[in-house]
A = this chain, B = another copy of it.
């Protein structure tokens, strides 16, 4: 038996997120179905990140355990033949038996895109949140810098999460406009449930001038979800990359 690390990209629009469910189509299910067809037996696929309904990925990671003679570099071709067009395995590599995609991740990078124009344009329909109100991107960038560092991010965690600790470290949080679209890039050692989308909702308030950039400090300190902004829509969010040692 070999343990294989799969890296993958998907358009989350048509899926009820990563994790397998009854009565809903998920990405994990599609991967497991493709593995079943390729390897002729049921295979459990363990993902690094449980992306929500509608969230996209460019660098999701998952592992499978298989007994196969297919060389690692051919596995993406073989699995992609059984996958729909909106899920693509981009890399496969044998990893040590003790490798775990979630516990051994060093950092994760998410990108949230906001199309800030007067009308929704076709190029940004699928992967960006259309937000027509005028935004001060410079203030959003200033506010984002307060997130960097090791903090208790309880104020940025949706109810229903059962994690032991809400302390996480953010390494990078940048807000920049590129080709008419605002990109918010966030890199950290881990993220709480809906954390990126709540950060984006809070940065939007700052961009509108409803909050000052330095209010981010008191929101963090409050440890109170009600102090932060709304949860921004899923469609703007992409799990860009997961890094391992």
Residues of A within 8 A of B (CB): 9-11, 56, 58, 76, 80, 85-91, 111, 117-123, 125, 127, 178-180, 183, 238, 240
Contact = CB atoms under 8 A, between A and B. Distances in A.
Contact of A119 (B11, B56, B88): B88
Nearest to A185: B179
Nearest to A73: B118
A58 B118 CA distance: 13
A56 B123 contact: yes
Nearest to A120: B88
Nearest to A13: B122
Contact of A121 (B88, B111, B179): B88
B76 A90 contact: no
Given A111-B179, A179-B111, A179-B240, A90 B121 contact: yes
A119 B58 contact: no
A238 to B, nearest CB: 7
B118 A76 contact: yes
Of A85, A119, A122, most B-chain CB atoms within 10 Å = A122
A9 B91 contact: no
A168 to B, nearest CB: 22
B80 A119 contact: yes
A10 B206 CA distance: 31
Nearest to A80: B119
Given A76-B118, A90-B118, A118-B76, A123 B179 contact: no
A86 B118 CA distance: 16
A165 to B, nearest CB: 30
A9 B122 contact: yes
Contacts of A180: 58, 240
7 contacts: A56-B123, A85-B125, A86-B122, A88-B121, A89-B119, A123-B238, A178-B178
Contacts of A9: 119, 121-123
